[in-house]
Amino acid sequence: MTSRQRVTAALEHQQPDRVPLDLGATGQTGISASTLYRLRNALSLKEKPVTVIEPFQLLGEVEQDLRDYLGVDVIGLWTRGNLMGTINNNWKPWTMPDGTPVMMSGGFEYSVDRQGNTLVYPQGDRSAAPSLRLPEGGYFFDNIDRAPPWDENSLDARRDFKDLFAVYTDEDAKHLEKQSKFLFEETDYGIIMNFGGGGYGDAAVIPGPFEKHPRGIRKLEDWYVAHLLYPDYIRELFEMQTEVALRNLKIIRQAVGERIQVINISGTDFGGQNGEIISPDQYREFYKPYHKILNDWVHGNTGWKTHYHCCGSIANLLGDFVDAGIDVLNPVQCSACCMDPQALKEKYGENLVFWGGGVDTQSTLPFGTPEQVREEVRSRMAIFSRGGGFVFNTIHNIVAKTPIDNLIALFDEFKRMKG
């Protein structure tokens, strides 16, 4: 099988010739630029600065030579912009706090305060207040709460969030058309579109990292409470977001056709380490109807599968995910409560494709031994690969400071098992 055929088979719950591998195709299946730089050096690949493809989390671009070395089967179709509000072009050099040389988008503008924090300006506009903070010695950015106080008597979600969601421009569409043609015609990778426009209530997006002047309910504590206190405000926002998302999905279909096999719809997390952070009833009330609208549109108008990233313990939501038409679940956080891989495969393996779950990035990969990494890879491969419906990836991104010996053990064991 080619990589594309392999990924397509997995998405159709068919048994491919081997389990497909993803590394770096999305903002939730990637690798820290710092760790990527060290991995490339350890594998004696060409030494050069790492291009930061996703600057919010400082994720590095996995390039052709490393994909070939590891046998990666999936590649991402990315939009032009990023969460800092800049376009990923006109790359310029920057050095991460740990000394890693990287290339950042040309619009990346920052300053360093007296405490050593790196502060980023939205859309590269230094006249606006900084929107993101990288703590001294840190490896990814945090949102800065900047919205002014809001008045509960004058809440207007369409007004407050009008700059958070936008319809793709002609330039955006041309970019997607050109890139999708290149990836489809010049490579045999499975292609995932990094859309995310159905990420209702995404904690990374709600504060408005790319907005110059956010307003309304943006602080996350207030946002979650608003589901109870101001439910109409939440619904009004989600209705507006759905309108924009549907328009963008139509543009994507026109631009890329059937050149992609799967599209990421959402990156919203509904789970914590020990349980859901939203009740099933609230999911059904606020989120499920809109998820179903987008999934129904995709399934009714394209051959794409819908990919949802959702961290944490979400066992009590998975039945509703299936009912809403979700095809693919990532990152499959088996380290969270009630997320036993065997139970997940048995109960949902016929309905959900598990994209992730390959090894724990909270403990095993960063803190275990190479043999513990190998053992976990063997176990997860044996469970999730049965009958197809599995794309191998770590549980979320590979973080900074991950021991290179453990990474080598991970990919070496995967190669051994896939045969």
Whether 276 has a pLDDT exceeding 90, the answer reads: yes
Q: Residue 193 above 70 pLDDT? A: yes
Q: Read off the tokens for 384.
A: 């999730």
Q: What is the largest CA-CA distance in the chain?
A: 63
List, in order of start, the domains of the chain with CATH numbers.
Answer: 3-31+62-84+147-418 (3.20.20.210)
User: How much is the average pLDDT of 190-209?
Assistant: 97
Mean pLDDT of the chain: 97
Mean pLDDT within 50-58: 98
Query: Nearest 5°: phi and psi at 327?
Result: -95, -40
Rg of the chain, C-alpha, whole Å: 21
- Residues paired with residue 59 on neighbouring β-strands, in sequence order: 32, 54
Q: How far, in Å, are 76, 196, 255, 266, 375 from residue 193 at the CA level?
A: 6, 9, 12, 11, 32
Predicted local confidence at residue 417, as pLDDT: 86
Report how far residue 391's alpha carbon sits from residue 194's, in angstroms, rounded to the nearest whole number.
16
Residues in CB range of 324: below 8 A, 6 or more apart: 288, 291, 292, 295
419, pLDDT greater than 70: no
Question: In this predicted model, what pLDDT tens digit does every residue of 157-181 receive, in sequence order?
Answer: 999 999 999 999 999 999 999 999 9
Counting Cα atoms < 13 Å in the Cβ hemisphere of 294 gives 33
**What is the identity of the amino acid at 370?**
P
Contact assessment for residue 264 and residue 309, using Cβ atoms and an 8 Å cutoff: yes
In Å, how far from its chain's centre is CA 45?
26
Nearest residue to 318 (alpha-carbon basis) of 333, 299, 302:
333
pLDDT over 90 (residue 418)? no
Task: Spell out the residues 6+ positions from residue 212 whose beta carbon is closer than 8 angstroms to its own.
Answer: 85, 122, 123, 125, 128, 163
User: Does the pLDDT of residue 350 top 60, yes or no?
Assistant: yes
Q: What is the mean pLDDT of residues 121-127?
A: 98
Amino acid at 63: E
**Residues 225-251: tens digit of each pLDDT:** 999 999 999 999 999 999 999 999 999
Tens of pLDDT, residue by residue over 371-417, are 999 999 999 999 999 999 999 999 999 999 999 999 999 999 999 98
- Residue 104, pLDDT > 80, answer yes
| CA angle, residues 376, 369, 24, in degrees to nearest 5 | 60
- Residue 28 CB neighbours (<10 A): 25
Distance CA 25, CA 60 (A): 11
pLDDT at position 192 is 98
Residue that is written with structure tokens 């990494």 in the block? 373
Cα distances from 262 to residues 26, 80, 195, 300, in angstroms, run 11, 18, 10, 14
